[in-house]
Structure 1
Amino acid sequence: MNEVFEFIKKCGTYYLATVEDGQPRNRPFGTVNVFEDKLYIQTGKKKDVSKQIQKNPKVELCCFDGQGGKWLRLAGELVRDDRREPKEAMLESYPNLKAMYSADDDNTEVLYFKNATATFSSFTEAPKVVTF
């Protein structure tokens, strides 16, 4: 899982895909953190993406390193964690978000991956799969 985390951090931006009424929805994200040996992302509960995840927690993210010609696809289920500690950890990792989010507000949402399958791919190497 740490290899997945490091790759996503290096890419900076990843694209998270959800489903809404049978229609794929995709948007850029930039938050990723490891807390208690779980890979977390962050969003706001008021956003459509949060509502889509709560209705169908199966998601996929994709990111491309831009220079090494490698990309990552991470499929799994997202689980909301309403505890204050993982929210604080995320906001400490991304202090610029503190202008919009707080560990104590009713909007900040952190979610961790479960039943995750990460596939590292490139045009020059065989795919590498990591599960967690």
Structure 2
Amino acid sequence: MNGIETIVDYLTSVPAWYLATVEETPEGAKPHVRPFSFAAIQDGEIQFCTATTKDVYREMQGNPQVELTAWKPGSGWVILRGKANLEDRANAQVRQEGFEHMVGLGEVWESADDERLTFFTIDDAEAWICDIDGSWNPVAL
């Protein structure tokens, strides 16, 4: 299994993982964390799904620096960080999978081609699988 497959396998084996963005406020930059649960591989990249109408999308437009993390009992936790690339390059299969996933969470979409539904990747990504012993084991992406 290559590094990208390792990360996607990890993210899709837990109910939710958490994405941190930077929210620009009048008081300055603030971290903003929220649960996510969709990740898929397309053309050697990890595709993530959100909506152009959500705060997370606006925050990534303003500052593309992101970090995600998830913990799986008995497996440590994963960290992936980089720059969000908001160019939606999802193919029809990934778009359909993302649409079905989001509908399964209770969100309402017209179809997989709903213009609000969008996919992003993470450029310049670095990833680790970490353990309680303090080890950070790099995952080659």
**Would the TM-score normalized by the shorter structure come out above 0.5?**
yes
Written as runs of structure 1 = structure 2, the 5 A alignment for 1:1-132 is: 1-21=4-24, 22-65=29-72, 67-83=73-89, 85=91, 88-92=93-97, 95-98=100-103, 100-101=108-109, 102-124=111-133, 126-132=135-141
Change (3 A) 1:125 1:84: closer
Which stretch of structure 1 is more off in the superposition, 38-47 or 100-109? 100-109
Residue 83 of structure 1 and its aligned partner are, at CA, apart by 4.0
Q: Which amino acid aligns with 1:8?
A: L
Instruction: Report the number of matched residues.
Output: 130
Partners in 2 of 1:57 and 1:90 — Cα distance?
22
Residue 45 of structure 1 and its aligned partner are, at CA, apart by 0.3
Partners in 1 of 2:126 and 2:32 — Cα distance?
20
Contact 1:91 1:97 in 2 (8 A): no
TM-score, normalization: structure 2? 0.81
Contact 1:15 1:62 in 2 (8 A): yes
Contact 1:16 1:27 in 2 (8 A): yes
> Runs of 4+ in structure 1 displaced over 6 angstroms?
none
- Percent same amino acid at aligned positions? 26
Contact 1:76 1:115 in 2 (8 A): yes
Contact 2:128 2:139 in 1 (8 A): yes
Q: Which amino acid aligns with 1:81?
A: E
TM-score, normalization: structure 1? 0.86
RMSD: 2.0
Q: Unpaired runs of 5+ in structure 1? A: none
Partners in 1 of 2:66 and 2:74 — Cα distance?
25
Change (3 A) 1:84 1:90: closer
Contact 1:115 1:131 in 2 (8 A): no
Partners in 1 of 2:54 and 2:94 — Cα distance?
21
Partners in 1 of 2:19 and 2:62 — Cα distance?
15
